[in-house]
Amino acid sequence: MPGSDDLHGLTVSFTAMEDGTKADYELLDRFERQHAAGTADRVLAALDRLTGSMGGYRISRLEHSLQTATRARLDGADVDWVVAALVHDIGDELAPYNHAAIAAETLRPYVRAEVTWTIEQHGLFQNWYYAHHLGGDRNGRDRFADHPWYGVCADFCARWDQPSFDPEFPIHALDSFADEVHAVFGRPAWDAAVLAAGPAALVP
């Protein structure tokens, strides 16, 4: 059980990686597994820090994230989609110009392929709602017009992401998503059975 491994005070022998021994790297592997076991809690903590309203919006980024996930849950979406909706903007704090990539890479080892792809592309697809107002190309998503997951990403934005800036919407609390976050990030990483693509739909 990785999380219960007592590693307190242990360190490797080396100061440069090239000098590390098999025992050193086996020790580090135990540390990595223990660290990975805490991913769900760190994701929840990172979401809890998305409290600053990005100037001008009527709700905070955390409230937007909760609203997006609440809509997914109320639509009957499965746990992959609900957690993806919850974390889809988790990269906003550190990567404001490519935030979708942060969320996609956070999810990629743990959810179905079409879910990761949707989160990866959601920034581009969201452009459809506003880019033309700023002299940009709202049709950038058209480059994926023939992609099998074009429709599901467009639906993610239309149904869950773009409407979720409403201060009157009754959001579910972050705590209410904790079990789902633990279920997803507690999965073995890169499990082919988990990553296999499902139906190209938000709700089958």
Q: Which is nearer to Fe ion, 2 or 163 (CB)?
A: 163
Q: Which is nearer to Fe ion, 89 or 120 (CB)?
A: 89
Minimum distance, C-beta of residue 106 to Fe ion, in the bound complex (Å):
13
Choice from 63, 89, 114, 180 touching Fe ion (CB under 5 A): 89
Choice from 63, 120, 161, 180 touching Fe ion (CB under 5 A): 161
Sequence-separated (6 or more) residues with CB below 8 Å from residue 121: 100, 141, 144, 153
- The closest alpha carbon to 118, from 199, 173, 36, belongs to 199
- The closest alpha carbon to 102, from 123, 74, 72, 126, belongs to 123
Count of positions on this chain that bind Fe ion (CB under 5 A):
2
63 forms part of the interface with Fe ion (CB under 5 A): no
Contact 182, 37 (CB under 8 A): no
CA distance linking residue 27 with residue 14, whole number of Å: 12
Q: Which stretch binds Fe ion (CB under 5 A): 12-20, 50-58, 85-93, 177-185?
A: 85-93
CA distance linking residue 58 with residue 140, whole number of Å: 27
CA distance linking residue 25 with residue 33, whole number of Å: 12
Minimum distance, C-beta of residue 165 to Fe ion, in the bound complex (Å):
8
Q: Which is nearer to Fe ion, 39 or 127 (CB)?
A: 127
Q: Which is nearer to Fe ion, 69 or 184 (CB)?
A: 69
Residues lying near Fe ion in the complex (CB under 5 A) are found at 89, 161
